[in-house]
Amino acid sequence: MTTESTEPAGSAGPAGPAGSAGTAGTAGASGGARAWLRERSELGVCVLLFALGVLVLTDALTMDVDIAQRGPIGPRTVPFVVGAGLLLVGALLAVDVLRGGRGEAEGGEDVDLDEPADWRTVLLLTGVFLAAAVLIGPLGFPIAGALLFWGAAYALGSRHYDRDPLIAAGLSLFTYFVFDNLLGVPLPGGPLMGVL
């Protein structure tokens, strides 16, 4: 299995997390090291793969298997193979990146790769989603779900303060009844359903 570069460097959409395709080139000698790293931010993926490999191997090594062994292959073998594979792939990918290989960012119907990544939106969405995860217990699904939809639509740039909450509430209640009554998948009603 040899490494192969997918793309000639530079043709792979935005080159850095902040879309530094242009800035990396103009940074000059002053920010040389940073620009170099930014251009090769994919090395972070290699580090993560490597760390994951170490994690899997450590977990396999610390397993207490004497009692559990059944058959010629115990529960440790496959984790060993996967862990070693992760280390190897992390290293090979690093070589590929240093040689100029770049993963091609995925396109799509609504994806505009020419614009720099909008981290604010991603962070907002992550926050809204986590908030919904926390609130679903105390507030119940209908309210937490509506907040999730409204919050996500807001984060994505919708500013219709009259229409958005109504759609959110309608969608959330509709889903609640479909799942709870029609499909028989229980969702927590929360205090709101207690009142109704």
- Of 152-191, binders to another protein (CB under 8 A) are 152-158, 167, 171-172, 175, 179, 182-188
Q: Token pair for residue 182?
A: 């029609």
Site for another protein in 20-79 (CB under 8 A): 42, 45, 49, 52, 55-56, 59-60, 63, 65, 68-75, 78-79
101 binds another protein (CB under 8 A): yes
Residue (of 115, 114, 128, 116) closest to 156 by Cα position? 128
Nearer to another protein, 29 or 167 (CB): 167
Query: For 17-64, what is the HEC assignment?
Result: CCCCHHHHHHCCCCCHHHHHHHHCCCHHHHHHHHHHHHHHHHHHHCCC
Nearer to another protein, 28 or 71 (CB): 71
Q: Report the nearest approach of another protein to the CB of residue 31 (Å).
A: 22
Nearer to another protein, 27 or 92 (CB): 92
Q: Report the nearest approach of another protein to the CB of residue 33 (Å).
A: 21
Question: How many angstroms separate the Cα of 146 from the Cα of each of 59, 135, 152?
Answer: 40, 11, 10
Contact call for residues 178 and 165 (beta carbons, < 8 A): no
Site for another protein in 106-125 (CB under 8 A): 106, 108-113, 115, 117-119, 121-122, 125
169, with CB counted inside 10 A (0-12, 13-18, 19+), is: middle
Nearer to another protein, 36 or 119 (CB): 119
Instruction: Give the total of residues touching another protein (CB under 8 A).
Output: 87
130 Cβ contact list (under 8 Å, min separation 6):
none
* Amino acid identity at 90: G
Nearer to another protein, 35 or 60 (CB): 60
